[in-house]
Amino acid sequence: MRFFSLFLFLFSPLWSGHNAGTFDPATMELQGMDVSHYQKEIEWDTVVARQTLDFAFVKATEGHEYQDSMFCHNWDALRRLGIRRGAYHFFRAYGCGVEQAINFLQTVDMQPGDLAPVLDIERTDGVSPETMIEEANIWLQLVESHLGIKPIIYTNQYFYETYLAGHFEEYPLWIARYSDERPLLATGKKWAIWQYSNEGCIDGICKKVDLNIFPGTSDMLDQLCWFPASVAAEQDVAP
């Protein structure tokens, strides 16, 4: 897709200077954002026409029954425009992991090439950390079993180091730390995606938006994407 070509890597001031400098494939960074109903109805055609956007995550569900009111609009628009997309579930620690996983799986129609599902876990909701970990683990296992790919875990650096460090180490990590300095986790775990700002001002979006970096190339980002077994098999035998 043209949006993922290395030759379309443009240096726009909208991304807070993280992509400023001389183009260097060895230090390639892909630019992304994440949105929900909070951003209201997004003019996605304007967004992709006026700034580089390599990937986007959209809120799909929360808890055991809530579906984001703008999910379908955002999900369908990103596919139409050829932007690599991912869906996330906002986890409620007091809720049943099984019911929350079902809510997500029934809401999100995954297509080959979509980013792996995301579990957004950033609140204890008044329950014990042990209960939170247990129910989150149930969600992760059910979604992974159903789709055949490990979900991504999203959280902020403080929450990770306070509650999640030492758990879910085999899952890719998307870390929030609003700073010019890249996150360095106390455990030494490597993050896959960095949410570096929640103050993005983007043409086509009426509210401020979260900005993210993937430190790699489009081919590297493919490793975080969902490809059903039948599609993967076809790719393996293609000439």
Q: Which residue has 């995954």 as its token pair?
A: 110
Q: Hey, which residues does 119 pair with through a beta bridge? A: 89, 153
User: Of residues 29, 41, 65, 122, which has the active-site annotation?
Assistant: 122
Q: Which residues share a beta bridge with 55?
A: 32, 84
The helix, strand and coil proportions of the chain, stated in percent and rounded to the nearest 5, come to: 35, 20, 40
Alpha-carbon gap, residue 137 to 97, rounded angstroms: 8
User: Does 122 qualify as catalytic in the annotation?
Assistant: yes
Would you give the DSSP letter of residue 161?
A: I
**Strand, helix or coil for residue 90:** strand
- Give the residue among 127, 145, 126 at the shortest CA–CA distance from 137: 145
What is the C-alpha to C-alpha distance for residues 220 and 30, in angstroms, rounded to an integer?
10
- Give me the active site residues, please: 122
